[in-house]
Structure 1
Amino acid sequence: MTISAPLFFDPADAPLPLSEDSDPAIAAFLQKAADQPLAVHIPNAQGIDLRAIRHGPHLLPVTISHSGMGGSYVVQPHSAYVGYAKDELHEAGLGMAAPLVGAGLSAIGGLLRAANINRVAMLDNFLFATNLHGNWQGEGIAAMREAVLADYADHMLAIRSVDDWSSPALYQALNDDGWLMIPSRQIWVIDDVAAQWRPRSHTKSDRRKFRKSGLVAEGISVMTPGDAERIAALYKALYLDKYSMLNPQFTPEWIRLLSTSGLVDFQVVRDREGTIMGVAGCFARGDVLTVPVLGYDMTAPREAALYRIASLLFGDYAIEHNLRLNCSAGAGSFKAARGARSHIEYMACYIAHLPKTRQMAMRAMACGMREIAMPALVKRGL
């Protein structure tokens, strides 16, 4: 079968140029997300344009950042490599070395500004902490990048959350096409959740806590405005208030959009009054699951073990649907105790068309991440 050239388009246009094999959940997500400016749904995605590209059956969202600073790391790489890292310094246990590391991050930030790193088109970007690439194995990548660059010739191209565990063929295709692989995070993965997660003593302890909690687990089939408000609040308390305002600021409307499109399947636990006390939003592509929306009632006592109970929601979901599990980054000791192992994730960047000065800055940054920053993160289990 002959596959036509890629179509790069605005999903606000109707009807969407889909193939009969296009994922209906992604199509619905793009249509609903394009109804309003992206920043209405995610305030720290201000000035970000949403586009889409289709090649054969593969339908990919594309975010366009024209520059600017201070947006969420899911749309602006400067925030991922500098801003978020600065926010995490107090959690890293660096002690007296923290000011020195902070100064180093500021220096890197200057280098990335020189590279105009936030002038970027991100392919296959769902605006989640961890993107999944599903069954797309890099088919048509050269034609796709040419289609995007025809409209955004001065933009770097990037694909977040690339690794040779969940998407080895895509990883290889990008290398073969000359993309620069920049280490981004240490993630935690589980190959066989039933065999490696469920039998662990920590997991069994979590389950005992759940049985004694009086909470009831359910999947949300119809997302009500009240449930969306509660889920957005639980997510905000954990990811924004506790960790960093550079996490994507999901509004209740965005939570409903993720649910009604079918892109994310929300699993919750409720108390006797029906109040949601913990949530895990499950996003699956291909044979891999990740959890872009996680939260629990942080006003509850620690003994309630709500974070541990929320982890059961996505672990059980992975087992039920026979999925491998990408546990994303952070909480390494917690995840390792429940069967996860570490793996390195990359941001793949295409820069060959950019001025030499921008290329040099990006290559210097990639070298620093590969030779200095990432080994230090792995050593500390971060």
Structure 2
Amino acid sequence: MHTSLPPRVVADALWLLTARSRGGQHWLHNATCDIQTVEIAGQSQPVSLLDGSNWQESYVASPRSTWLRYPRQEMLRGASPAKAQAIKLLSCPILGPLSTLFKASKLDQAAIIANHLVSTNLYADWSAGEISKTTDKLLSTYPQRPLMMRNICPQVNPELAASLLATGWQLLPSRMIYLCDPQQTSVWKHNHVKQDARLLDHPEVEVLTHEQLQMQDIAALQQLYRQLFIDKHSYLNPDFTAAFFELCLETQFLEMHALRWRGRLVGVLGIYVHHENGWLTTPLIGYDTSLPKELGLYRRLMALLLKTARDKKLKLHYSSGASQFKRARGGIPQLEYTAIQNRHLSTTAVQSTALFARLLRTFAPAILKKADGI
């Protein structure tokens, strides 16, 4: 694709134009949302809209999957049949009322702003004035829907978080994430980081750059991602389509890297770079889970991620999960929030959201810390 525009602008525009005409399912099998747009600070941003989510709806499109379905799946994952049955029985008295409360809040019908349907959206630090103007515009456009922004972390976007609070948005705890500054020499003193760096340099497994990957690799790359995030972890994770991988290879919507071993692809890493706010993350990572652990494929991929952040002089957003692994590699735990604006809705919706928010603020931080062993 030949153009004078910056690659990031081209990639985002193509993602957005296609999603507007074909819906979120063009990029994710499990995101049945419509995509519309809103302008923030002179740039078009996606707004994802769900009218009703099913049990397979990815958490990147469905708040119900984020707060209710995914935690339940995590509790059931790896449990014995007897333990799974016990969890189901014990969770019903809790999840039943929460589900009713959630429905009354209308949160699953939220207009989710600047949502690119990835695990971690990276934002510019929009000012309070920009947030206020955008909020007014969206309240007029979506009078029956709450407004929402995922992935709000004061340590990543301090001005944005402050702007949202200053303009009447609420911040609800959503997950524990891990942040790292690879420019700090202390990060590279961790024994695990040193060991992973040596492993990455070992020629047994070859690292392929974005330019070395071709369209005929898409099926293999997609399968590697699905092996880890869909088959091993959860069908509520983003299930990227072949079209999404093609977009990435064509436009660098994600900067793609791969691992090759004995002539075949065995690992994939998709890197999302936001130079404006100085952060980098990976919404897409996967490897051949059938191969021996001794190959250290996940360690190699994460070492490549850390090295890339250092080389680009950016901070690294490790996202969530694999908490012990990430802490051993310089990851600092931080709470991430979802921002909600619902002052325009009915009293029932506002009060239901307020109660749900109170429950989250009371219990979620401790639960998230305990789950991550903090």
TM-score, structure 2 as length reference: 0.89
Q: Give distance in 1, aligned partners of 2:77 and 2:179.
A: 22
1:62 corresponding residue in structure 2: 47
- Distance apart, 1:57 and its partner CA: 3.2
Equivalence map 1:186-335=2 (5 Å): 186-193=176-183, 195-212=185-202, 214-221=204-211, 224-273=214-263, 275-285=264-274, 286-335=277-326
Q: Give distance in 2, aligned partners of 1:92 and 1:272.
A: 31
Q: Is the 8 A contact 1:202 1:338 kept in 2?
A: yes
Change (3 A) 1:69 1:357: farther
Q: Is the 8 A contact 1:265 1:282 kept in 2?
A: yes
Q: Give distance in 2, aligned partners of 1:214 and 1:268.
A: 14
Q: Give distance in 2, aligned partners of 1:92 and 1:366.
A: 29
1:117 corresponds to 2:117: no
- Distance apart, 1:213 and its partner CA: 5.5
Q: Is the 8 A contact 1:32 1:257 kept in 2?
A: no
Q: Is the 8 A contact 1:288 1:326 kept in 2?
A: yes
1:184 corresponding residue in structure 2: 174
- Distance apart, 1:133 and its partner CA: 0.5
1:72 aligns with one of 46, 53, 58: 58
Q: Is the 8 A contact 1:231 1:252 kept in 2?
A: no
Q: Is the 8 A contact 1:25 1:263 kept in 2?
A: yes
Q: Secondary structure at the match of 2:291?
A: coil
2:22 corresponding residue in structure 1: 36
1:88 corresponds to 2:74: yes
1:278 partner amino acid? G
Which runs of 5 or more residues in structure 2 are unaligned? none
Q: Is the 8 A contact 2:253 2:272 kept in 1?
A: yes
Higher helix share: 2
C-alpha root-mean-square deviation of aligned residues, in Å? Answer: 2.4
Q: Give distance in 2, aligned partners of 1:233 and 1:321.
A: 28
Q: Give distance in 2, aligned partners of 1:30 and 1:148.
A: 18
Which runs of 5 or more residues in structure 1 are unaligned? 1-18
Q: Is the 8 A contact 1:219 1:267 kept in 2?
A: yes
- Distance apart, 1:103 and its partner CA: 4.0
- Distance apart, 1:318 and its partner CA: 0.2
Between 109-118 and 150-159, report the one with greater CA deviation: 109-118
Change (3 A) 1:271 1:68: closer
Q: Give distance in 2, aligned partners of 1:134 and 1:123.
A: 13
Report the number of matched residues.
Answer: 361
- Distance apart, 1:271 and its partner CA: 2.0
- Distance apart, 1:255 and its partner CA: 1.4
- The CA deviation string for residues 193-217 of structure 1, in whole angstroms up to 9 with x for no partner, is 5524333110121233334451111
Paired-residue identity, % = 27
1:154 aligns with one of 144, 160, 163: 144
Change (3 A) 1:373 1:104: farther
Q: Give distance in 1, aligned partners of 2:312 and 2:270.
A: 14
2:366 corresponding residue in structure 1: 375
Q: Give distance in 2, aligned partners of 1:93 and 1:241.
A: 16
